Amino acid sequence: MSMLFVNEERLLKSLEELSLVGNSSDKGVTRFALTPGDLQARQWLQARASQYDLRSHFDAVGNLFIYAQDAQEQPPVIVGSHVDTVPNGGRYDGALGVLAGLESLIRLQETQTPLSRPVWLAVWTEEEGSRFSGGLIGSRAIIGELGKEELKLTDADGISLAEALCSWGLNPDDLPQAARKPGQIHAYVELHIEQGAKLDVAKEQIGVVTGIVGIRRYNVSVKGQANHAGTTPMNLRRDALVAASLMVQAVEQIVRDSGHLEAVGTVGKLQVYPGGVNVVPGQVDFTVEIRDIKMEVMDELVAKVRTRLQEIAAERHVELTWEAAPAVTPSLLDESVQQTIAQVANELGYSWRYMPSGAGHDAQHLARICPTGMIFVPSKDGISHSPAEYTADEDCVRGTNVLLNTIVRLAK
């Protein structure tokens, strides 16, 4: 099959330009969802699209869709990502996927490539959750899972999601109309930077994403006995922090030794009570987080960690409470879309590997209503959500070439 190639110069120039649009920071890119800066970025995209005879519209939750004028009534192939960022974020997270999608649509126009399905670019609303907690709001709306209650979510200034949508002239009451049912989207593909170092370390060019990892979180509390640090002999202590420190190490060791190479386990938050320099710690609260792409792997690791923590608690004569916090189900991506991406990468002569995504993406929601795939490109040193985020020009171009030819095959 003959391959299409993107206009490298145009793609790279638009990456440069978009990083400056609506950006309120002089350090990295700061563009929170549904702010004037976010609107400027979307209007910039609309203006760019119209130069190439592409149309666009917003849905009720601020998702922007861009498509060719001759879009048929058939379920579209959608490509997309986001333009909102974390505070002082990078130039590539989200923006690359959006601009690669736009460049692909433009190339399809310019080359008059015959397709039997329409291709849409989606710019999702509030992916990061920097303004309204939880994030992934636009993609939750499109699968019909953004509840009316969530329109009441407020930002740091007390402005609700509904009010923010109204400020853009959108009507939050139309939220149900934004939802799509299974069968109404033919396929979804998202190009994104890896945000990890696997491709960079292995010097591989393309990641074919197998799925987005699930997350299990637990709030753990260890209760011992607070006491005077000067007068309590070592053999009479029930030191909650010493017990907790062994537990923290157990989490690391169990996950490392599990043989599940993609699994990760983290204690990221820990509080010591009463927290005095001269007091034996009486209580420690900490979090345990386990991520993997397979439910059964997470089940196994959680059971092992929990058993070991109970053993440590017994050995150390402390009480342990273990409470589950909200979890995220892993999303497996569509195998035939994965194969299409892999085949395109092969035919383009790029090196690639299958890999899971350790970070959440809008694709995990789309995967619930349509065949979905993701393409990763290398992040230098694995750095992301930082002004130091960097993906080499050639990698941006390669990823976009893979996206473009994947679209052609899905929309044929």
Least distance CB 80 / Zn ion (angstroms): 11
Which of these segments, 86-94, 142-150, 167-175, 303-311, binds Zn ion (CB under 5 A)?
A: 86-94
Measured torsion, CA atoms of residues 78, 195, 399, 350, in degrees rounded to the nearest 10 = -130
Tokens coding 105? 């649509």
Q: Is-contact 37 23, C-beta < 8 A?
A: yes
**Alpha-carbon separation of residue 277 from 50, 122, 244, 248, 274 (angstroms):** 65, 54, 17, 21, 9
Cα–Cα distance for residue pair 46/26, rounded to 1 Å = 25
Q: Is-contact 77 119, C-beta < 8 A?
A: yes
Least distance CB 368 / Zn ion (angstroms): 19
Burial of 324 (0-12, 13-18, 19+ CB in 10 A): exposed
Cα–Cα distance for residue pair 81/94, rounded to 1 Å = 5
Least distance CB 352 / Zn ion (angstroms): 20
In terms of CB distance, is 94 or 118 closer to Zn ion? 94
What's the gap between Cα 159 and its chain centre? 24
Q: Among 44, 128, 114, 122, which Cα is nearest to 76's?
A: 122
In terms of CB distance, is 93 or 155 closer to Zn ion? 93
Least distance CB 60 / Zn ion (angstroms): 22
Nearest 5°: phi and psi at 302? -60, -45
Q: How far apart are the first and last CA of the chain?
A: 12
The size of the interface with Zn ion (CB under 5 A), counted in residues, is 2
In terms of CB distance, is 56 or 195 closer to Zn ion? 195
β 77-82/214-223 pair status: unpaired
In terms of CB distance, is 94 or 138 closer to Zn ion? 94
Which of these segments, 85-93, 169-177, 208-216, 381-389, binds Zn ion (CB under 5 A)?
A: 85-93
- Footprint (CB under 5 A) of Zn ion, residues 91-110: 93-94
Nearest 5°: phi and psi at 308? -65, -40
In terms of CB distance, is 94 or 356 closer to Zn ion? 94
Tokens coding 151? 């329109």
In terms of CB distance, is 302 or 355 closer to Zn ion? 355
Least distance CB 357 / Zn ion (angstroms): 10
In terms of CB distance, is 92 or 352 closer to Zn ion? 92
Partners of 346 in the β-ladder: none
Which of these segments, 89-97, 133-141, 329-337, 388-396, binds Zn ion (CB under 5 A)?
A: 89-97
Least distance CB 293 / Zn ion (angstroms): 18
Burial of 234 (0-12, 13-18, 19+ CB in 10 A): exposed
Which of these segments, 87-95, 159-167, 214-222, 321-329, binds Zn ion (CB under 5 A)?
A: 87-95
Least distance CB 25 / Zn ion (angstroms): 17
Least distance CB 86 / Zn ion (angstroms): 9
Least distance CB 362 / Zn ion (angstroms): 8
Count of Cβ atoms closer than 10 Å to residue 20 Cβ: 11
In terms of CB distance, is 118 or 138 closer to Zn ion? 138
Binding flag, residue 395, Zn ion (CB under 5 A): no
In terms of CB distance, is 246 or 359 closer to Zn ion? 359
Least distance CB 192 / Zn ion (angstroms): 6
In terms of CB distance, is 94 or 172 closer to Zn ion? 94
**Alpha-carbon separation of residue 186 from 77, 227, 343, 348 (angstroms):** 5, 64, 19, 24
3-class secondary structure, 191: strand
Alpha helix stretches (DSSP H) within 203-321: 240-256, 295-315
Residue owning tokens 């899972």: 145
Cα–Cα distance for residue pair 121/189, rounded to 1 Å = 10
**Residues engaged in binding Zn ion (CB under 5 A):** 93-94
